[in-house]
A and B are shown apart, each in its own frame.
Chain A
Amino acid sequence: MTRKQKRLSVIVAGLSFLALAAGLTFYALGQKASYFYMPGDLSAANLAPGQRIRLGGLVEKGTIVRGQGTTVSFAVTDTHNAIKVTYTGILPDLFREEQGVITEGSFGSDGVFVADSVLAKHDERYMPKEVADGLKAKGVWQETQVK
């Protein structure tokens, strides 16, 4: 091989490696990224059973039920629609009624959302951004311009 050919083959090898990595990345984005929904979006969304999603909204008042052991069930609402969620584990510090939460998991066969993680951010003033935007889009929560 001449020097030129050698260099060319190195470049081709490098590029094909990059292409492989890029392909993998976009495949992974398609497969592994979980979409975010508010309860009201679910009827429109065509969810395959067992598909992982993130479900966000407010914890509906008076729906928190502590079941056996450490299982908790509650409803996540966008004030129009509500979805029942069960979760086993320790709830975050800031989990409480009428606060924004994001749960991640999938729907069981009985239509109950089984979450394996529940997030409420560690800042009292914080509203998860997806929830805030979603509520705003539904007109539940007006933006308050206070300046």
Chain B
Amino acid sequence: MVEIGHFALVLAFALALIQTIVPLVGARIGSDRMMAVAAPTAITGFALTALSFAALMVAYAGSDFSVVNVWENSHSLQPMIYKLTGTWGNHEGSMLLWVLILAFFGALVAAFGANLPASLKANVLAVQGSIGVAFLLFILTTSNPFTRLIPAPVEGRDLNPILQDLGLAVHPPMLYLGYVGFSICFSFSVAALIDGRIDAAWARWVRPWTLVAWIFLTGGIAMGSYWAYYELGWGGFWFWDPVENASFMPWLAGTALLHSAIVMEKRSALKIWTLLLAILTFSLSLLGTFLVRSGVLTSVHAFATDPSRGVFILCILLFFIGGSLALFALRASSLTAGGLFQPISREGALVLNNLFLTTAAATVLIGTLYPLALEAVTGSKISVGEPFFNLTFGPLMVPLLLLVPFGPLLAWKRGDLFAAAQRLMAAFGAALLAALVTLFLIDGGSALAAFGAGLAVWLILGAATDLAMKSGFGSVAFPIMLRRFIGLPRSVFGTALAHAGLGVTLIGMVGTLNFGEEHILTMKPQQTVEVAGRTVRFDGIQPMKGPNFNEDRANFQLVNAGGQVTGTINSSKRFYPARQMPTTEAGIKTIGFSQLYIALGDESADGSVVARIWWKPLVTLIWLGGLVMMVGGAVSLADRRLRVGAPARRKSKPAAVASAS
């Protein structure tokens, strides 16, 4: 089974090569047959990659330590779920997952692209195939998960304990679905450049892919942030760590792409810019893959001693980014520019959005790459962290968020800023009220917190205003309004939800950062501490045994005024013998939208323990906001017009006949 997986992977590589060359040549010389090769090879290639991935998963499930990759990252005593997730909890396996998702998206285009013009479809799949060729070659030559080990050891070295967690089991696939989803947008852009023309339905085709990728990337980032929050025991939700930035940059660019694709679809404007943005977004995804997978971040040392992987990905990076940008430079001038619009209009607002988002992505890019570049050039080492991003990223986000509610209220082509502002008066008043309440009525309210709270309310009510106005609030009778409201296109709901989700996340951040409490103290058994008006009692530490770890579990009880226990929090320190590695499992109790968070420090001989106790008000809203954004994206995706993508031939044929007769 293992070797069949290996063989299937090699076969998938050969097919990807065909998928790249034959349709490309076919589209060039106008051969239908050669162009028709693209779809079946893409689908077969996906099936083979899936078979290969399944084979690796079976090896993990059965603890087949004759596979080096399994031996290095699994243990026979691990719970089955972590044996399975271990498949992608390592470099080789995760690269295979990356390629699997790439092939999956290609197969989707092949299967559902019947209404695409033949040459566009052939070119898209060829470009998609070429990415597959590069990464399959990377896997086969430098990171082969099917390398064997004979004689096979009887026990594996265990999966890195901090990866033995459900959050991290789901996080990489989601993140990759996001990263790699943008490859479709990239392929469409490059195909349009190769063709030298942008199909009328191009934006309609690209938008749903952008949306799908964006939804998953949003989910992946939110999940990763939540994982870091509870697993690392530091209680922070975002660290501006290069690995996090690597996923955040494509998100920023992707969000910009999502918006500019709307302009292109509705108004045929910003064509060239959208094309460029699609290329840049996927380039940032590739860059993210490079940063995380080459080892350049974790250790220059490791990168220097085993450069084959890093250099290989770097070559892939240069080829695709350089190639596509060169193609863009050559061909962009031959593409026809689109419609015109006034600066004050929906298009204008979306351009502004793009300007802010891409600039923000650029600052994150500089903050991430500058330390690496500086070290490579001068050898001096700096760290760029939160203070830098607060100073650069923050000022960019504030005006953007202030402007968000205006966008949907402006008309296409020529908008009326004054009318939009009038409609938003109610939302503005409420936001001001929220800011004042935060500043004067809540303990510890600062000007910044007040501003944040006001901004959050502004975003949420601004989204609500948009819905209300579109359903005719105030101008028509209530029943009509209700009917109109229900009849609104889903994409309008999607926009409102996604914008409101931003506000929800912002509330969570404001609450956590400004109104939280932190206590670090040494607690003896039965000692109590007051945290945010609640009493926490430490009941002592018990040793426990898990399947592949031992842990010291500390029991904390929440007690009320009468001394009755109202809740239990367990926080523990684990030790995984196979890796000789300790981890901290924070104890978290969710109360409403807020959380009580306890991390353990050192234990002393008399049974007392250093505990770090946080009260994090409204913290769950940070991730719930992400969820709301995802739901918004999904609702928008469900919009019939997007789902169909481009006109179906079956449907439009009779219509054409009818109009002719």
Contacts and interface: CB of A to CB of B under 8 A. Distances in A.
Task: Answer yes or no: A and B touching, Cβ < 8 Å.
Answer: yes
Interface of A: 3, 6, 10, 14, 17-18, 21, 24-25, 27-29, 31-36, 54, 66, 69-70, 88-91, 93-94, 104, 121-124, 126-127, 129-130, 132-133, 136, 143, 145
B601 A36 contact: no
Given A33-B382, A132-B299, A25 B363 contact: yes
Contacts of B355: 14, 17
Main secondary structure of the interface of A (DSSP, over half): mixed
Nearest to A93: B582
B381 A93 contact: no
Interface stretch (B65-73, B177-185, B188-196, B386-394): B386-394
B301 interface: yes
B521 interface: yes
A6 B380 CA distance: 46
Interface of B: 160, 162, 232-233, 298-301, 305, 340, 343, 355, 359, 362-363, 366-367, 370-371, 380-385, 387-388, 390-392, 395-396, 520-522, 573, 579-584, 599-602, 610, 612
Contacts of A27: 391
A70 B359 contact: no
Contacts of B599: 90
A18 B355 CA distance: 9
Given A124-B581, A133-B300, A133-B301, A31 B391 contact: yes
A33 B233 CA distance: 25
Given A17-B355, A70-B610, A54 B601 contact: no
Given A17-B355, A21-B363, 5 more contacts: A21-B359, A31-B391, A70-B610, A124-B581, A143-B305
A25 B392 contact: yes
B299 A93 contact: no
A132 B301 CA distance: 8
Contacts of B601: 70, 90-91
Closest 10 CB pairs of A and B: A36-B381, A90-B601, A32-B387, A28-B391, A32-B388, A129-B299, A33-B382, A93-B582, A21-B359, A70-B520
Contacts of A24: 391-392, 395
Q: Which of B367, B381, B390, B392 has the most C-beta atoms of chain A within 10 angstroms of its own C-beta?
A: B381
Contacts of A29: 366-367, 370, 384, 388
A28 B362 contact: no
Contacts of B362: 21, 25
Nearest to B391: A28
Q: Which of B520, B573, B599 has the most C-beta atoms of chain A within 10 angstroms of its own C-beta?
A: B520
Contacts of B392: 21, 24-25, 28
A27 to B, nearest CB: 8
B520 A88 contact: yes
A34 B521 contact: no
28 contacts: A3-B340, A14-B355, A18-B359, A24-B391, A25-B362, A25-B363, A25-B392, A29-B384, A31-B391, A32-B385, A32-B391, A33-B371, A35-B380, A35-B382, A36-B380, A36-B381, A54-B381, A70-B522, A70-B610, A90-B233, A90-B610, A93-B573, A121-B298, A126-B298, A129-B299, A133-B300, A143-B301, A143-B305
B256 to A, nearest CB: 14
A91 B602 contact: yes
A93 B583 contact: yes
A131 to B, nearest CB: 10
Nearest to B382: A33
Contacts of B610: 70, 90
Contact of B382 (A36, A88, A124): A36
A42 B387 CA distance: 23
Contacts of A28: 387-388, 391-392
B420 to A, nearest CB: 20
Contacts of A36: 380-383
Contact of A33 (B232, B363, B384): B384
A129 B391 contact: no
A33 B581 contact: no
Contacts of B387: 28, 31-32
A54 B383 CA distance: 8
Contacts of A129: 298-301
A38 B232 CA distance: 26
Contacts of A90: 233, 520, 599-602, 610, 612
Contact of B582 (A3, A70, A89, A94): A94
Contacts of B383: 33-34, 36, 54, 104
Nearest to A124: B581
B292 to A, nearest CB: 14
A28 B601 CA distance: 35
A122 B363 contact: no
A133 B298 CA distance: 12
B365 to A, nearest CB: 10
A35 B391 contact: no
Contacts of A121: 298
B363 A127 contact: no
A131 B573 CA distance: 27
A32 to B, nearest CB: 4
A40 to B, nearest CB: 14
B381 A124 contact: no
A26 to B, nearest CB: 8
Nearest to A17: B355
A97 B229 CA distance: 27
Nearest to A143: B305
A89 B340 CA distance: 59
Contacts of A14: 355
Contacts of B359: 17-18, 21
Contact of A25 (B340, B366, B581): B366
B384 A126 contact: no
A17 to B, nearest CB: 6
Q: Which of B370, B388, B396 has the most C-beta atoms of chain A within 10 angstroms of its own C-beta?
A: B388
Given A18-B359, A24-B391, A24-B392, A124 B579 contact: yes
A145 B304 CA distance: 12
Nearest to B584: A93
Contacts of A132: 299, 301
A123 B382 contact: no
Nearest to A129: B299
Contact of A122 (B162, B384, B388, B602): B162
Contacts of B162: 122
Contacts of B366: 25, 29
Contacts of B580: 124
Contacts of A3: 340
Contacts of A130: 381
A123 B573 CA distance: 16
A66 B605 CA distance: 13
A9 B355 CA distance: 15
Nearest to A95: B602
B572 to A, nearest CB: 12
